[in-house]
Amino acid sequence: MGKNKLARFAELATFPHVLQPSKDEVLEGFPMAGKWKSDFFKNERPLVVELGCGRGEYSVALGQRDPSKNYLGVDIKGARIWEGAKKAMIDGMDHVGFLRTRIEWVKHCFAAGEIDEIWITFPDPQIKYQRAKHRMIGPAFLAVYRDLIASNGCIHLKSDSEFLHGYLHGIIEWWGLEVLETYHDIYGQVIDQPDHVVFACQTFYEKMWLKQGKTITYLKFKFPEDGGSR
């Protein structure tokens, strides 16, 4: 491990707006579950969670765009989280925080209905069949999100993968979920709405995909009042 990465890990441990619980702390009754607004952010603003946040670019950008909400980036890569956490601290963004843990464990990190919005930006599409269970918008993960999201909450998927975009549409139809917005090419279809949230940030990966000529997709949806069915 490089010195730079070690230094980032050491500094990350000093950030009050970053939680890095152990596996046991998460799985054996995480004390912050149900208390993110009251105990971590110390307000009752809506809670927006970015899953697989990487460098935290979108969490920070959303926080800059609309400071009336709380934003929490979740990822297991501490050296990456450091970048967003450092910027949020320097800019005095006390409504932006980070949780370092595995996405597979998020069901233990929040109470039912605690999250108002979920963002998933540029996840690995996990194209191979044997990797399908790891898709962050697959049935198993969606069942977790359904339990954690507020009754009128929504989920955003921004991706470079037409496969993933279409795959999620299939699940939405199967489960009877409600599509709020959908675009196969945001730069071709939403360009006349420069203030749209899809343009809040161009992440490292988005810039890379755009250079390669890939289109960027966006899908926003919600669960019905009964939670949807399989």
pLDDT in tens, 76-97: 999 999 999 999 999 999 999 9
Q: Report H helices in 57-130.
A: 57-65, 78-90
Residue 174 shares a structural domain with residue 228: yes
63: CATH: 3.40.50.150
**Residue 201, in any domain of the structure:** yes
> Residue 1: which pLDDT band, with cuts at 50, 70 and 90?
low
Question: Residue range 128-141: average pLDDT?
Answer: 90
Residue 52 shares a structural domain with residue 141: no
Residue 67 shares a structural domain with residue 97: yes
* Host domain of residue 163: 112-230
Residue 141 shares a structural domain with residue 225: yes
Residue 151 pLDDT > 60, yes or no?
A: yes
Catalytic residue, chosen from 91, 124, 147, 195, is: 124
Residue 149 shares a structural domain with residue 75: no
Weakest-pLDDT range from 56-70, 149-163, 189-203:
189-203
> Residue 11: which pLDDT band, with cuts at 50, 70 and 90?
very high
Which of these three, 102, 136, 170, is where a domain ends? 102
Residue 132 shares a structural domain with residue 64: no
Report the chain's mean pLDDT, rounded to a whole number: 94
Q: Is 124 among the catalytic positions?
A: yes
Q: What is the pLDDT of residues 18-60, one digit of tens each?
A: 999 999 999 999 999 999 999 999 999 999 999 999 999 999 9
What total number of domains does the chain contain? 2
Residue entry with tokens 């955003």: 156
Residue 82 shares a structural domain with residue 124: no
**Residue 13, in any domain of the structure:** no
3-state secondary structure of 111: coil
**Strand 178-183's sheet: what is its strand order?**
18-19, 96-100, 70-75, 47-51, 115-121, 149-159, 217-222, 178-183
